[in-house]
Amino acid sequence: MNITGKWQGTLIYGEGYDEESIGKSLDFEFDIIDTEGEITATGKDLNGHGYNSTGSYINGFVDDDIISFIKQYNKGLTIDEEGNEEYMPPEENYEVNYSGLYNHITKEFEGDWEIVTLMESIENPDEKFIHICSGTWKMHKV
């Protein structure tokens, strides 16, 4: 199955986020190029919680009904302790790992996504820990 074309979808915020964010959604769009199962795309957020206006790109693969890709924003968005949005420099940009399956009934890909980041302890900047944020997603061809 070649998936070249425009795809629109929604992601839902899950574990690893604050209570205000969990369950909220973000709508997105990808213009995918499928070259013998290797996929690349440019993307953009359309609207919703965590909207990032800088655009994104993906790299990954599709194999039969399985899809897996990494999305990176041109500039990553983070929220500081006061709730203010801050854009990160490109060298600090995080990867969003998507995996999923194609549902032949709904004609959508659906699955899970995850961001794994290495964080510094506020009390001790020399102390590092891994923080995982995750959720679900789906997308359909338009």
Q: What is the CATH number of the domain that holds 82?
A: 2.40.128
| Structural domains counted in the chain | 1
> Residue 16: its pLDDT value, please?
93
Bridge partners, 112 (sequence order) = 99, 136
**CB-based contacts of 52: which residues, under 8 Å, 6+ apart?**
45, 73, 75, 76, 77
| Distance, CA of 101 to chain centre | 16
Q: What is the pLDDT of residues 50-90, one digit of tens each?
A: 888 888 999 999 999 999 999 998 877 776 767 777 777 66
Q: 27 forms bridges with which residues in the sheet? A: 10, 47
Beta partners for 134?
A: 114
Number of H helices, E strands in the chain: 0, 10
**Closest Cα partner for 98 from 64, 135, 123?**
135
pTM for the full model?
Answer: 0.86
Q: Which domain holds residue 40?
A: 5-141
- pLDDT of 92 > 70? The answer is no
Residue 135 DSSP one-character state: E
